[in-house]
Homo-oligomer: A and B are copies of this chain.
Amino acid sequence: MSRIVIHEVGLRDGLQMEARVVPTETKLRWLERLVASGVDIVQVGSFVHPTKVPQMADTDALFPQVPRGKALLSALVLNEKGLERGEKCGVDLYCMGVSASETHSRKNTGMGVADATARIIAMAKQALAAGKEVQVSVQSAFGCGFEGHVPPENALRIARAFVEAGLRSLSLADTAGHAVPGQVESLFGAVLALAPGLEATAHFHDTYGLGIANCYAALRAGVTALESSVSGLGGCPFTAVAGGNVCTEDLVHALQRGGVRPDIALAPIVAVAREVASYFGRDMPGKIYRTGPIGAPEGGGGAHP
């Protein structure tokens, strides 16, 4: 696992959970540093209705202003209208998905899983035809906050449809944080066995404390890209649920301790994490932004007997 792609999604999957809308200029300051860190992909926002999700209302305005480094800029799109908006503002990579949970699918899109799959495949083909990169995901692949257990076959059926449609970049997302490592290894193994040359991305939430453990399980199964969130943004601040997305700087710090991705600069990500915590006025789930990395002058945590 010498080259693991890191996809930073905090400014979308994280900020959409926050009651307080972050101003465009603040997002830009954060995005600049995230791009500069050397992570491979940075998610800028999503194309949703601005009154429904005011946190994402500036997505179209943001894209042209983000300094293009080496990072791809991605966006989540939910429908054809989103694709149109994305075309106008210069999205590099479209992320789009279908929930493996019938209830979650209907609540999120008003469509059942089968219809949603057909629609996403059509959208993905349209974006590919326009020369863009596309990642298709199976959401709630490991369990559902509404339905509980989601049979692996439900997720596999969607993945199979994606692969049969010629799509090659697939993601499994643990939207509810229900996944455990054995399940992760097994389901990603099954997805990667569907066809040669697939690229698999994993997206975990740390709701129940297993986010990073699941990342390692995914890497064992052959996953080559991980989605994570600066400072661990993405928890639900209105409930008792403290765990957000897997925290980017904690994940990168851990990978680097194992010799992976030494090229990513931790300092700019940690700087953003500190600003995020300060902006929202609370401790975020991430650890490294508080402890400092191991061996750094500010660190030294855990030196007790």
Contact = CB atoms under 8 A, between A and B. Distances in A.
A241 interface: yes
Copies of this chain: 2
Q: Is the interface of A mostly helix, strand, loop or mixed?
A: loop
Interface residues of A, number: 55
A267 B223 CA distance: 35
Interface stretch (A20-28, A187-195, A294-302): A294-302
A13 to B, nearest CB: 9
Interface in A138-172: 139, 143-146, 148
A302 B254 contact: no
A76 to B, nearest CB: 10
Nearest to A251: B209
A291 interface: yes
A192 B237 CA distance: 44
A203 interface: no
Interface stretch (A81-89, A120-128, A177-185): A177-185
A181 B216 contact: yes
Interface in A97-126: 104, 107-108
Kindly name the residue among A209, A236, A239, A300 whose own CB sees the greatest number of chain B CB atoms within 10 A.
A209
Contacts of A143: 294
Interface of A: 17, 104, 107-108, 139, 143-146, 148, 175-178, 180-183, 205-210, 212-213, 215-217, 236, 239-243, 247, 250, 253-254, 257-258, 283, 286-288, 290-291, 294-295, 300-305
